[in-house]
Structure 1
Amino acid sequence: MSNFEERLKGGHPNSLGNTVEIVEEILNDPSLFDELFHCYFSTDEVVRLRVSNGMKRICKANKKLLIPFIDRFLNEISKIDQASTQWTLSQLFLQLKNDMSANQIKNATEIMKNNLIHHQDWIVLSQTMETLAIWAKNDEDLKKWLPPHLIRLSNDKRKSVAKKAGKVKASL
């Protein structure tokens, strides 16, 4: 066993640690993907942060590895109360949309709407606004739902959130 969880622990919390090395191992041996996925359930928040980073890298390189796990991202990973997990989900949903069923897209949309309403992390808000805006271009209900939330966020005291909300609203 590769013991990814142990290898993802330690070091500076904002560093990648061994993430890139582990991603390369998985890309060379996709049977290892499940082990990395299970690291989302680690009690160590740094491990979960690095797993999220690894998932984005794997999705860009070989998104087919994530497709069988879409329901688990929707039903399990979305319940992890950690900002890095939530902003990563918005990015993954954007990349995986064409591989999702209508019901999965509906569930992903609800997860992101909930994050846009309730989450306070600026990166979660930014990534969620971006994905929802792109999806709203082909979803009239979402196109109607989104603007009032963007108006609210355009008044956020954090300039990065307010500026992003303004740009996203203008793009609709």
Structure 2
Amino acid sequence: MLDLMMSDSFENRLSGGHPNSLGDTLNVVDDILADQEKLTELIECYDSSDEVVRLRTSNALKRVQLARPSWLLRWTDHLLENIAQIDQASTQWTLAQIFRKMKPDLTDSQYDRAVTILLSNLKHSNDWIVLTQTMETLSSWATRDDGLQKQLKPLLHKHGKDERRSVRNKAEKMLVKLI
């Protein structure tokens, strides 16, 4: 019976197959939407040693947030303090997207922590999706935060010279947004 329970775990269901496929992600999301308490098990999948599991966990988490935005709010501090420490591009770009949607519900302290995390990712990541999603989030916040804008503009100028068109174009577009 324990083997059956283990094989039915979210971690098991999110593993295997081609890394670019969703695997069983959509069914896991359906299970969570039917029972909010199962969100804990999904969040715990970020502890997996399998990067495909963590990638699909990120995908599932975005889908849960889209369907039930308030459900992630109790996890805000955990996302900021623990999940943000994961050195995986899919986790970093997912957090940029999740934090963008959480902004109205972040405390000042949580907002400051999110800004610090995202600025660090923008300075140190070389992944084009991390860079573009992070620029999008920080630029949307910087329109109302002069201090952030002062920190962000030099990074946008830097990324505006990136050899990858997607990164360069996003940086240029975000600079125009801040003028």
2:75 counterpart of 1:105: no
Partner of 1:142: 148
Deviation for aligned residue 1:21: 0.7
Distance across 1 between alignment mates of 2:157 and 2:70 = 37
What is the root-mean-square deviation of aligned Cα atoms in Å? 0.8
Partner of 2:61: 55
Unaligned runs of 5+ residues in structure 1 are none
Instruction: Give CA deviations for 1:10-38 in whole Å, capped at 9, x if unaligned.
Output: 11100111111100110011111100100
| Overall identity of the aligned pairs, in % | 50
From the CA coordinates, give the structure whose radius of gyration is larger.
2
Provide the secondary structure at the position in 2 that maps to 1:12: coil
Calculate the TM-score normalised by the size of structure 1: 0.98
Letter in 2 for 1:146: L
Calculate the TM-score normalised by the size of structure 2: 0.94
Provide the secondary structure at the position in 2 that maps to 1:144: helix
Query: 1:2-151 alignment to 2 at 5 Å?
Result: 2-151=8-157
Deviation for aligned residue 1:64: 1.5
Equivalent residue in structure 2 for 1:155, among 157, 161, 164? 161
Provide the secondary structure at the position in 2 that maps to 1:9: coil
Unaligned runs of 5+ residues in structure 2 are none
Deviation for aligned residue 1:108: 0.2
Deviation for aligned residue 1:99: 1.4
Deviation for aligned residue 1:100: 1.1
Aligned length: 172
Distance across 2 between alignment mates of 1:101 and 1:21 = 33
Deviation for aligned residue 1:59: 0.5
